[in-house]
Structure 1
Amino acid sequence: MSFSISDQLTKLVQTLTPPPAVLDADYDGLEYDFKYLVFRPALFKNEAFLLAGVAVHLLFFWFGKRSNWNKTNSWLNAHLPLYEKQFSAPTNGGLTADGYSDFFNFSTGRRVVASLHTVFTLRPRHDLLQMIYQFIWGLSDLTYAPQDEIELDFKLHSNTTVPDFIWAIVAKEELRSIKSDRWDLTWTRTTDHPSLTGPLSVMSEFADVTENILKVSGPVLQALKDPKVLVHFKSLSITDQPRDRPDKASYPRSKHVILSLKAPSPSRAADTLPLVTAVFGSSTRSKRSTTPRDQVEAAQGAGRVRRRGERVSGEGKARGVLTVSSLQAADAKQAAKKKAEEERIAKLSAAEQQKILERDRKRAMRKTQGKMSVKK
């Protein structure tokens, strides 16, 4: 029995043992001899190419990983003094990495702002195959342009006085893709505004919201006038809706201010600092500078659209007829009607305009008194 097992082991070893190398007696290439060992490099061409490929891949991995770390650390270090002034806990032990292209920083401990997630989404420079794939895809699809992104997601406290609405400033080159990436922005209409520079547009649920927000957004608008800042800007949005379409009719909501940027190179990491500083400043200044009338107008305007949007969402699920496009059409019709009325009033004499303003003032006063009596 033991003999048969021994024979089987011998056969197995013979099967696994590679055949002996056939040495050419006429070989006249480079050869290294050491005692009974002989090495002829010309016989290992395939192995040489394999080792070279592994070496290139390892070097690409090391340089790509280091490049992404340098980019994220340079940006965070340039903005860390601002974070330290704004938050009692500006970092949670430093950057958190998910692989070698996604990085996160969590900040908390600030009035109005519950938390700030700083998310870095960089290109996979450590992965040679993915970079080749992105390059080939970019040649076949001219609209595909992978880039490094930084997103600052400010989650506001639930007891904040900010009304419910969706509003954004967006770089025009991002308009073709942002609505497919952000479900909440499908509630809005896109328009230009004279307060913004050429390559920027406004996305808003209601026109009154835009006017009231821009009144307290002076630092942000001023920062966006700087070409060094504007080249890195993608979007700045205020929203109380989720960015992904919810699966259920009722879903949790929270208010967010989201700043999206193109990640600058390490040598220009501080270029976005004026804009980030302005976003922090505007969030505090808006509570002090916005008058009660502005807050009421913004809340009323957003409330009208929000109620109409919720009705569209509910009836659309029941009948499958109404969609977000019907909401946008209704808003466009109302805005056109309001503009026509303003143009008609502008053509009247000063005395007639004064009569109309007085009539509107008395009408608004009667509505206010009616609401106060109901509350009593």
Structure 2
Amino acid sequence: MSGAEVVSLGCRLNIAESERIRAILGDASETIVVNSCAVTSEAVRQTRQAIRKARKQYPDARLLVTGCAAEVEREQIAAMPEVDGLIANEAKLDPRAWNVPVDAAPVVPQHTRAFIAVQNGCDHSCTFCVIPQGRGTSRSLTVSQVLAEVEQHLEIGAREVILTGVDVTSWGEDLPGKPGLGTLVATVLDAFPELQRLRMSSLDGVEIDDAFIELICTEPRIMPHLHLSLQHGNDLILKRMKRRHDRGDAVRLVSRIREARPEVAIGADLIAGFPTETEEQHQANLSIIRELHIVHGHIFPYSPRPGTPAARMPQVAKPVIKQRAAELRRAVSEVRRPWLEGLVGTPLSVLAESDGCGYSQQFARVALPEGTAPRTIVSVTPTTLEEGLLS
């Protein structure tokens, strides 16, 4: 193995942090880091699997674990014989935690798309979630810090910037004057006119400020792709989740944006089989997919997380959860297929990646003509759709 290896699991924030960890470690040989996830029981299982796989692949390397699972399941992860040490989640971007001099500023590797973590942690207490335990309270980068990161990524070739965080729409709440996310996005776009594509990670719709909504509706450099932290389509289940929105809030938000910008593609996180969920409530979850025309669906079968209020609620049987998750995925597929078919024959602006494909503005995957140079933005009019890939 040449240089450090970083295995990233979970969210886009982890992806962004993994790139920074890789840059901090530089060419440190014989070190492997597992940047873990604990959002579900399955995520923790995958973390354990990744640790065992890494040890088997690199038997002589120093294996360190960081991330949310290393916080939430600290004793269990530390007890694994494959693990040499844990790095606290809050310290994982501090060079000192890795025995690297603070003044040795890391150079972030070049990528087509840059994930920039503008916020970390969460101040909310959703009944199913352990992320606040793993990430701590909400903390925002300052505007100047965000601008410096964007500038660095643009200088080394990034063509698209994705602003991400644990609860990115809470950005600014802990800063002087409590600026809204719209202020940050407008400042980034004004500061970098050469930036052609700005995309957002998952958003909590109830927190989106009017200035940001206006930008989504009117600014062509913000990609027409909105991914909502929706979680469910039934009001009682949302209340038991301790979410701060109801179904109507989500419908009104999407309607407002679509009225101004009809081409916006909607994505959403949805949980199947939350405790106490009845068949009628599951049907409401299915119907929100059709009502909002969700074409990018992230479906999570509910799994109880120790120490959360939801784990103490009456549970839905595991086979029922599995079945309902499959039905939700099928519903998304039934909405997504005609949406993709509607893009056939439509000119798309596609950012080329190194694998011969790229993503359109709406985050549709597109196969590119042979020889298309990575990191270029090209116009493609697809003529076919095969297995979810436009070409």
Scaled to the shorter chain, the TM-score interval is under 0.3
Q: TM-score, normalised by structure 1?
A: 0.25
Q: TM-score, normalised by structure 2?
A: 0.24
Greater relative CO, 1 or 2 (CA 8 Å, sep 6+):
1
Say which structure is richer in helix: 1
